[in-house]
Structure 1
Amino acid sequence: MPFKVISILVIQTKLYCEFEVVGFLCLNRILSHIIAKIKHMFEIAKFVVSAVKFCMWNIDNNSKRVNDIKRFVTNEFI
């Protein structure tokens, strides 16, 4: 009788450990997937920020050019 009880405990412990390892692997895979998504979102955010900076720089340069053209037209024709 004690041998049967011990063998059942060993089987239950082994199953529990296997489930724990599988659960840890699944959790590890899920966390690495989430981290990869977050890194991807940061890459997209950096791209958007650089695009906005470029647009603002371009608008600023265009407004300077427009002011130069206005000044030239004003000085030449008026």
Structure 2
Amino acid sequence: MLKPSPDVVLTKNQDAAVLLDKRSGSYYRLNPLAVVVFERISAGRSEDAVVTELQTRFPDDRERIPGDVARLVAALRSAHILVAA
């Protein structure tokens, strides 16, 4: 299971969302779909559960979603935004 690093803050407004790593000072701009993934995983959902939810919401992109989610999660783990719980 993954969770956000305690040093990470998500800030959203109507136009954008940004993750700020207070430890490093780095920030990451997220698109709306990436925000959904980050929020669901932060709430304790598994990567597979998030993929299933997105495939239900966006059936036309069903084949692409698993890879997109996997790449996003890998990037967030690499940046220490998501860490093992």
TM-score, normalised on structure 1? 0.25
* Greater fraction of residues in strand: 2
Give the number of the structure whose alpha-carbon radius of gyration is greater.
1
* Greater fraction of residues in helix: 1
The structure showing larger relative contact order (alpha-carbon pairs under 8 Å, at least 6 residues apart) is 2
